[in-house]
Amino acid sequence: METEPGTIAKSNVVLDVKPWDDETDMKVMEEHVRTIEMDGLRWGASKLVPLAYGIKKLQIVCVVEDEKVSIDELSEKISEFEDFVQSVDVAAFQKI
């Protein structure tokens, strides 16, 4: 799919960020995630979604410029908050 000259290809991405356990401070975890800055990355809405056994995951939306932001690299950066983050998964990925 070719994009017209001058248009910037972007994607809307929903990430599932899973904590280690129900003791993890989800508010602090989200604050850490939102400190990540990359050229072409814009954070959006987030919510906590129940997983199991009282554990919730952080579901957070971001818009990325496809040319500038690698989702794999972004996931790695989020995973570096290893005191909080057990895993990061792409829940949804949509070109906009």
In a domain, 4, yes or no: no
In a domain, 57, yes or no: yes
- The enclosing domain of 41 has a CATH number of 3.30.70.60
In a domain, 5, yes or no: no
Identify the domain containing residue 34 by its residue range.
10-95
Query: 36, 77 in Cβ contact below 8 A?
Result: yes
Query: 93, 7 in Cβ contact below 8 A?
Result: no
Number of domains in the chain: 1
In a domain, 2, yes or no: no
In a domain, 36, yes or no: yes
What is the pLDDT averaged over residues 54-70?
Answer: 97
Model confidence, pTM: 0.91
What pLDDT, in 10s, does the model give residues 1-40?
A: 555 667 899 999 999 999 999 999 999 999 999 999 999 9
Nearest of 46, 45, 95 to residue 71 by alpha carbon: 95
